[in-house]
Structure 1
Amino acid sequence: MQMKKILLSLFTVILITTSVFADKIKFTVSAPNVVELGEQFRLTYSLNKKGKSIKLPALDGFRVLMGPSTSSNMSTQIINGKVTSNSSYSYTYVLLAEKEGKFNIKPAIISVGNETKTSNTLSIEVVKVNKNPHNSGSNQTNNSSSNQKITENNLFVKVKLDRKSVYMGEHIVATIKVYTRLTIAGFGDSKFPSFDGFLSQEVPTPGQITLERENINGTIYNTGIIRKLILFPQHTGEITIDPFELEVIIRQAKAKRRNGFFDDFFDNYQDIRVPRRSKPIKIRVKDFPSNKPANFDGAVGNFKLTTTIDKDSVKANDAITMRVKVAGNGNLKLIKPLEFNFPADFEVYDPKTSQNLKNSEAGMTGSTTFEYLIIPRHGGEYEIPAVDFCFFDPKARIFRTRSTKKFTIKVAKGEGDGSGTIISSFSKEKVKFLGKDIRFIKTNDFSPQLKGEVFFGTTNFYLTYTIPFFLFILAFVFNRKRIRENADTAKLKNKRANRVAMKRLKVASGSLKAKQKEQFYNEILKAIWGYTSDKLSLPLENLNKENITEILLSKGVEQELNDEFLSILDTCEFAQYSPSSGSSEMDELYQKSMDTITKLEKNIK
């Protein structure tokens, strides 16, 4: 028994040791990417294993003032029997920038056991201090003890574009940034541009804003990315991007009072809310060259086309799936399904669209796939001819064409494959029961009434006069109540909001059945925004996607329901640019809109 315990302990030690040394050795260096001439800064080497005898490269343009200062950290976790150990060792040097220019720091060398490891290289830019009055002020590290005046030159926001002249449909990267030489304590209210005239897509950025140093015309600023988007212009001409507005909370030291003995024991700082507004930006959107092909449908970028079919030999009435995949970089979200000339005996459903997209500074990359469901109704040999896909390459400034494959389908006779005429355009509506073919003579009992009976003085005679009188009184009271309610317009709109929204959804349902897709999405938007305006008693022009979330949350609407509301708006707005949606997607959107309005009716307080 004792031997088993010893073996178990030895196995645990071996397992921990193996997990510690199994990790790949990483030796990296970090420092500010830009510093001022004469500024002191830290150069830190990090290692995930214990090392010795670190050797620095030649540090041209810098003087080592102190170092290395070493520190270490180790942690071990056991989760579900899995042992994970992490360790880190750091070597920190304090350097002084002595020369102006850009310097490449070569790799350092350190020994880890019997191995020798080298770090990565690092580039540091040293700039001369800008002594212009409007740019005066110390760097971020010295702001905590100063009471520097806040100006447009040491704190501003900017919408930065990677280009200002593009073709229609060509992407633009828009980066919204804050620039500061002061100490930022946080951010307040913000108002983003509406980006009218563009299809905008978010580029993922870290949830927490981190400041990095950046050289702007010889002055070092601490910059942070607020938001990053890629924009696809939807019409030619000059488009203006509205200003971005942000409230920045600046922390500054209070002016010291005389004889303030207790001042050093308390926070002697104040937070100042400073509004900042960027400048509007104009973008020139160029039209396509004049040699535009007739089959060009607005695709812009660089794409590859792949066409596959799951089977080329089937029986009649068996389904075939054909997939057309457009992959590459460009406005993939706006590409429309290709139109094929299918044989007349093929029943073809609306293509299903699926997208796998990624947004980055390089633009929108990924793929859009169209899936066609085909059902041949007759036996025989059929051909699906090739189709050309034309797109504009903005880098080469030319139109390119990719073609699908030509497929030959062999269809054998199957069950139900007769020689009769097949209507390939059969509408898939359910057959409605209209009535019966024979209607019988009424056979129910009835009581005959004598002709010429005296009506005066009977019960029915008096009811004829009394009932209208009471109905008049009820109508008079109801009308007075209605007049009082109509006097309060806001209350009336609130009361009728759900009823009016349902009427608009009914109109959208009619557009859905008539396959009027553009009108359908417009009616859904009118129903959603109209309901919100009436229910909240707010003018429609004061509501937008930027403030509706805050308004609904203040009315007690749950976050999940709020997300459903915004999802409906995004779907409708993208519909006018995106590929044609199938009837099933429109049905889902219609039901989702009705459910969302019903839930809002119960949740809004």
Structure 2
Amino acid sequence: IEVTVVRGTGRAGSSSAPPTPTSRTLSGQDFFVAAEVDNETPYLGEQIAYTVRLYDARSFGRGQRYRAPAFTGFWNIQEDERHTYNTVTAGRRYSVTETSSILFPTVVGELEIDPAVMEISTGFFGGSRSPQASMPVSVTVRPLPLGAPQSFTGAVGSYDISASVDTNDISSSEPVILTISVSGKGNLDVLPEPGWPDMPGWRVFDNPPDTVTYTTSGEFGGKRTYHRVLIPETSGFLNIPVVEYAFFDPKEERYRTISTRPIAVTVSLDATAQANGFPNAPAKLVIEQVDSDIRHIKSAPSSLSVRAEPLTSRRLYWALWASPIVLLVASAGWRFKDRLLLGRGEVDNAAFARNTALSMLQYAKQSDTDHFAASEGALIAYLTTRLDRPTYGLTHDEVSSLLTQGNISPSLAQEVVSLLNLTQDGRFGPAQLGDSVEGVLDQTERLIDELEWEFEQ
């Protein structure tokens, strides 16, 4: 019987029948291994499916062991998909074991995928193994075309983007949680971040993204979600600007740019922020004439002197300066525990609490933010979520008691109290602490990691 086989063009996992070796290839063989890719000329970063098929004509099954190639020049960490079916070719019935891998080329040019090897148990009791290898597979990787938009950072695939906030109406002592989701088909695990726009009127704390991936119909895709904590720096009507995302679509062979819509947020001035001099949003400038002549020139004193106690050495000055920051980050920790069911069905609030606190500490390291205020705020925000109740304003003994009730060891609870004492001393009297300033952020980060470990026990 002569069988003529025409190679299909569908991707792995499609309903079309897979190609089979010719009768001449299978003539006289009990088993045979074939390998192929669904696209021999992909673009850089475009996903392709590599499929290996073991044809076994024996009437009873024996063990098989698959050794995948090294896939040099390709990115591949997904689980291989495997399924079996039967086919008839060259006058014989074969059981086919098909194994598929999704690959993303990482270099341009001619690449060769080494042979795949199937080790098949042979002998009556299957005591020996016979390695069967496929032929190598050649792939020519094309570079991305010229004409990429300025915002392009390397994403290849097909994506959509969306943005949302947990609320559009807040007070000046509350944060807004912005969620940006990028979803579609492509290498979500290494997807570049969007180009974040300037955020006038907001202080921004970033967190590591959440990534959910899946494989359907032989294609790899999913969703990557970014959570950004936005703290208002002024009151009034504030805007969250458009976020753009540029990528190369290999199916359409062109660059595309997608974007979110701007989001308006109303920030009302609360009593606490007003007492601390929280600024209003810029209003229309009104110029009034207040005088028609030069003001009286005050006579110079007979002698000049420097104040014995500068303003910055007073505890009240630092307390007033730092209290808005501590209040805001503490509020953020309390509020996101009820809001952050965003982007997917379940969100690990414990991990988000830790990531938010560490992001606050990282921001303080890279800016002029007071280290003691940032450390206290990050620790309180973390404890607020982990203990499921507000901790700002509690005495240190009350915090220690809550920690021990939450299965935290007394020694670690005492370390938390000691750090809170240190941060308060630093906020109210920074001139006296000197060497403690540089290490307080690292100490807070270490303490949060130790707390996280004990909370999980």
TM tier relative to shorter chain: 0.5 to 0.7
Alignment match, 2:74: 198
Higher strand share: 1
- 8 Å CA contact 2:38–2:50 kept in 1: the answer is yes
Residue deviations 1:383-408 (CA, integer Å, cap 9, x gap): 22212211111111001111111122
1:177-256 matches, within 5 Å, as 177-183=53-59, 185-187=61-63, 189-202=65-78, 205=81, 210-213=84-87, 215=89, 222-225=94-97, 227-250=99-122
Q: Which runs of 4+ in 1 moved over 6 A?
A: 99-102, 420-424, 433-438
Question: What is the root-mean-square deviation in Å for CA atoms of aligned residues?
Answer: 4.3
Sequence identity of aligned pairs in percent?
24
Structure 1 residues 219 and 329, CA, compared in 2 at 3 Å: closer, same or farther?
A: farther
Counterpart of 2:87, as a letter, is: R
Q: Which structure has the higher relative contact order (CA within 8 Å, separation 6+)?
A: 2
Give the match's secondary structure for 2:151. coil
1:337 to 193, 197, 221: 193
The reply to whether residue 416 of structure 1 matches residue 292 of structure 2 is no
Please identify the structure whose Cα radius of gyration is greater: 1
Alignment-derived partner of residue 373 in structure 1: 229
TM-score normalised over the length of structure 1: 0.42
Q: Which moved more, 1:317-326 or 1:414-423?
A: 414-423
Inter-CA distance 221–400: structure 2 relative to 1 (3 Å threshold): farther
TM-superposed CA distance for 1:240, in Å, is 2.6
Task: Report the Cα distance in structure 2 between the residues aligned to 1:237 and 1:170, rounded to whole angstroms.
Answer: 14
User: What SS class does the counterpart of residue 333 from structure 1 fall into?
Assistant: helix
Distance 1:188 1:331, change over 3 A: closer
State the alpha-carbon separation in 2 of the partners of residues 387 and 284 from structure 1.
Answer: 35
Q: TM-score scaled to structure 2, two decimals?
A: 0.54
Q: 1:101 to 1:340 in 2, by over 3 A?
A: closer
Task: Give the drift of 1:220.
Answer: 5.1
The one-letter code of the counterpart of 1:238 is: E
SS at match of 1:297: coil
Residue from 148, 170, 175 that aligns with 1:292: 148
Instruction: Please tell me the residue identity of whatever aligns with 1:298.
Output: G
Give how far 1:230 is off: 0.9
Q: Kindly state the Cα deviation for residue 231 of structure 1 after the two structures are TM-superposed.
A: 0.9
Query: Residues 175 and 223 from structure 1, CA distance in 2 versus in 1: closer, same or farther, beyond 3 angstroms?
Result: farther
Q: Which runs of 5+ in 1 are unaligned?
A: 1-35, 38-98, 103-122, 138-152, 253-268, 439-509, 514-582, 593-605
Contact 1:239–1:282, Cα closer than 8 Å, also in 2: yes
Given that 1:135 and 1:219 are in contact with CA atoms closer than 8 Å, whether structure 2 keeps it comes out as no
Deviation at 1:186, TM superposition (A): 2.0
Residue 101 to residue 242, structure 1, CA distance change in 2 (3 Å): closer
**What amino acid is the match of 1:212?**
N
Tell me the amino acid that sits aligned with residue 195 of structure 1: F
Q: Offset at 1:164?
A: 1.4
Contact 1:175 1:225 in 2 (8 A): no
Contact 2:62 2:126 in 1 (8 A): no
Aligned to 1:313: 169
CA distance in structure 2 between the aligned counterparts of 1:201 and 1:214, rounded to whole angstroms: 33
CA contact (8 A) 1:338 1:387 kept: yes
Could you tell me which amino acid in structure 1 is paired with residue 231 of structure 2?
I
The alpha-carbon distance between structure 1 residues 154 and 345, as it changes in their structure 2 partners (threshold 3 A), is same
Q: Distance in 2 between matches of 1:242 and 1:301?
A: 26
Where does 1:26-425 land on structure 2 (aligned, <5 Å)? Answer: 130=23, 135-137=26-28, 153-183=29-59, 185-187=61-63, 189-202=65-78, 205=81, 210-213=84-87, 215=89, 222-225=94-97, 227-250=99-122, 273-414=129-270, 415-417=272-274, 418-419=276-277, 425=367
Q: Report how many residues are paired.
A: 296
For 2:189, what is the secondary structure of its paired residue?
Answer: helix
- Aligned-partner Cα distance in 2 for 1:401–1:275: 49
Aligned-partner Cα distance in 1 for 2:262–2:5:
60
Q: Is the 8 A contact 1:183 1:251 kept in 2?
A: no
Cα distance in 1 for partners of 2:191, 2:140 equals 23
1:518-548 deviations in Å (ceiling 9; x for gaps):
xxxxxxxxxxxxxxxxxxxxxxxxxxxxxxx
Q: Describe how 1:432-511 pairs up with structure 2 within 5 A.
A: none
Q: Which amino acid aligns with 2:58?
A: L
User: What is the letter of the counterpart of residue 419 of structure 1?
Assistant: G
SS of 1:179's equivalent in the other structure is strand
